[in-house]
Amino acid sequence: MSIFFAGRVITQLDDATLQDPILLTKMFIDNEFVESETNEWIDLPNPATNEIITRVPKCTQAEMQRAVESCERAFEQWSTTTVLTRQQHMFKLQQLLRENMKKIAANITEEQGKTLVDAEGDVLRGLQVVEHCCSITSLQLGETLPGVAKDMDIVSYRLPLGVTAGITPFNFPAMIPLWMFPMALVTGNTMLLKPSERDPGATMMIMDLVREAGFPAGTVNVIHGAHDAVNFVCDNPLIRAISFVGSDQAGTYIYNRGSKNGKRVQSNMGAKNHGVIMPDANKEATLNALAGAAFGAAGQRCMALTTVVWVGESKEWIPELIERAKKLKVNVGTDPKADLGPLISPQAKERVEKLIESGQKDGCKVLLDGRGVKVEGYEKGNFVGPTVLHGVQPNMECYKEEIFGPVLCSMEADTLDDAINLINGNPYGNGTAIFTTNGATAHKYTQKIDVGQVGINVPIPVPLPMFSFTGSRGSFRGDTHFYGKQGIQFYTQVKTVTQLWRGEDVSHSTASTAMPV
Ligand code: NAD
């Protein structure tokens, strides 16, 4: 049963293997859902069944050009709209998102696979960015300094850049587009969005709400595709800035290509997040937090806690962690009792299983093996159950790679310093957490750890939007982060005005060639 909404059109294709009509995903240009004229389509299967639920176009160059030109036209009007009008649009979008949260979540479960409750969290974390944008009247304030010289003041304004672009990954189909276009629009920019070709449905449903909220045509347009669409965004001269979230490979490529073309680029990439368990931690709370953060969303979160470092005696808790992990229910995301759903694709499943195998070959103990898990009624789904590899070493493939599945790498350290050295030696810097009841230990960890987002007894420390998402080192390229103050900075440029308003008669002044001081 597929979900019908404005972003898809029912089309019967000449494909004997498909019994039902297939819904083609549309583009969104000038506030209209438009069918692509391309000949190239990407099949989008439901990860729990592998039945095709929609086909996503690889938009043609002409379609993408039309979309970016629409953004350029809309910018002229939108950038001069009052800040209060932009704020009112955000209030409306906020209300509509809240009202439609469950519908969007259902689409996410259908296209991406995560459980319904987790999918609602996906929408909610994006909605919080929209709520933050509603404070734009304070967020976009510039600076002033009166009296820098006699009768002279300096004023700086934060002004929009122009047309911006967003390229998003599959794992948060609502949250990540919502990290991008609301911040871009509320600061007066327009945006060309290219959602993940693997689950663009949530973006399309949100576009329906954008239109309903009264955003003028062209303020945000959506194109679809893979590499060609990405290259279009990186090369198009109308686009001033690119926000990217996704894998290292794509992120590095987009950062390099976009920057080379003179664009501002922010690029959030992969991760290997470590949880450090001190022996003085609250055992029950820590093991529950760890099980949830390692295996939730089937490990397909950039902030999943994928590596545990047991310091000293805390390793004695491993059997209890395994017991908790065993209790997690693997099932289709629509089952209210499911704790984790399927992986995004058969290829992702195969890759995760190969990484488990490589860990085993490298000498890890597979304390819990999620390979071969069977889900009744969903035998063709991409399911992998919670898996724990113990005895992982830094030189192993399973440690060096971001697994992006429900696989916990388990390591031991004698001391806190050893744990810190291990983590600081890993190239990624997205997130980490320490579990302890000792404030001094937590303080030391916070000071010494070279990771951009730290949780103290908080397993997934994703900052709320009044702060910014500050992944560091190998997890980020660029210098200004997503949402919060840094998001405002990313989408604005500063114009500084030095003004002299002298009341007395200045007509008798003389020319001076010296540098004004
Ligand atoms: P992905 O890189 O495969 O896809 C992201 C986007 O890039 C898509 O729109 C896709 O069309 C495009 N793309 C894919 N391959 C490309 C290539 N070779 N060249 C140019 N463009 C390409 O990422 P994904 O698999 O959809 O998402 C999972 C990854 O995203 C993980 O590595 C995860 O850690 C990361 N992620 C990071 C954050 C963060 O904030 N750091 C958040 C979510 C996801």
Could you confirm whether 302 is annotated as catalytic? yes
Q: Which of 35, 32, 31, 227 is nearest to 22 (CA)?
A: 35
Q: Do 63 and 159 share a domain, yes or no? A: yes
Pocket test for ligand 1, best of 247, 273, 307 (most atoms within 8 A of CB): 247
Q: How far apart are the first and last CA of the chain?
A: 72
Q: Do 62 and 12 share a domain, yes or no? A: yes
225 CA: nearest ligand 1 atom: 11
Structural domain count, the chain = 2
Q: Do 59 and 192 share a domain, yes or no? A: yes
Percentage of the chain surpassing pLDDT 70?
A: 96
DSSP string, 237-269: TTEEEEEEES-HHHHHHHHHHHHHTT-EEEEE-
Residue 503 clears pLDDT 90, i.e. is over it:
no
pLDDT digits (tens, 9 = 90+) for 249-277: 999 999 999 999 999 999 999 999 999 99
Q: Point out the catalytic residue in the list 71, 302, 364, 409.
A: 302
- CA dihedral (470, 472, 475, 481) in degrees, to 10, reads 40
Residue 475 Cβ inside 6 Å of ligand 1? The answer reads: yes
Residue 16 clears pLDDT 90, i.e. is over it:
no
Domain of residue 260, residue span: 8-265+476-495
Question: 466 lies in a domain?
Answer: no
Question: 163 lies in a domain?
Answer: yes
Confidence of residue 4 (pLDDT cuts 50, 70, 90): low
Q: Do 342 and 487 share a domain, yes or no? A: no
The answer to which of 9-18, 217-226, 233-242, 422-431 has the lowest mean pLDDT is 9-18
Contacts of 378 (CB under 8 A, 6+ apart): 48, 49, 331, 332, 342
Pocket test for ligand 1, best of 171, 345, 382, 453 (most atoms within 8 A of CB): 171
Q: Do 185 and 321 share a domain, yes or no? A: no
Confidence of residue 384 (pLDDT cuts 50, 70, 90): very high
The answer to which of 10-14, 20-24, 112-116, 182-186 has the lowest mean pLDDT is 10-14
Q: Do 258 and 283 share a domain, yes or no? A: no
Domain at 318, CATH number: 3.40.309.10
> How high is the pLDDT of residue 95?
98
Residue 250 CA to ligand 1 center (angstroms) comes to 6
Residue 324 CA to ligand 1 center (angstroms) comes to 31
> How high is the pLDDT of residue 508?
80
Residue 11 clears pLDDT 80, i.e. is over it:
no
| Average pLDDT value for the chain | 95
Cα–Cα distance between 56 and 45 in angstroms, integer?
11
Cα–Cα distance between 160 and 240 in angstroms, integer?
10
Residue 122 Cβ inside 6 Å of ligand 1? The answer reads: no
251 CA: nearest ligand 1 atom: 2
| 167 phi and psi angles, rounded to 5 deg | -125, 125
Residue 170 Cβ inside 6 Å of ligand 1? The answer reads: yes
Q: Do 180 and 299 share a domain, yes or no? A: no
Question: 502 lies in a domain?
Answer: no
Q: Do 71 and 199 share a domain, yes or no? A: yes
The answer to which of 20-24, 32-36, 271-275 has the lowest mean pLDDT is 20-24
> How high is the pLDDT of residue 7?
62
Residue 169 Cβ inside 6 Å of ligand 1? The answer reads: yes
476 CA: nearest ligand 1 atom: 41
> How high is the pLDDT of residue 45?
97
Residue 127 CA to ligand 1 center (angstroms) comes to 21
**Helix, coil or strand: residue 373:** coil
Identify the DSSP state of 17.
T
Confidence of residue 114 (pLDDT cuts 50, 70, 90): very high
229 CA: nearest ligand 1 atom: 11
Average pLDDT over residues 383-396: 98
> How high is the pLDDT of residue 478?
98
Domain at 56, CATH number: 3.40.605.10
Question: 464 lies in a domain?
Answer: no
- pTM of this prediction? 0.95
Residue 158 CA to ligand 1 center (angstroms) comes to 30
Q: Do 230 and 290 share a domain, yes or no? A: no
pLDDT digits (tens, 9 = 90+) for 310-320: 999 999 999 99
Which secondary-structure segment (H or E) carries 103? helix 101-112
pLDDT digits (tens, 9 = 90+) for 367-380: 999 999 999 999 99
Q: Do 242 and 307 share a domain, yes or no? A: no
pLDDT digits (tens, 9 = 90+) for 123-171: 999 999 999 999 999 999 999 999 999 999 999 999 999 999 999 999 9
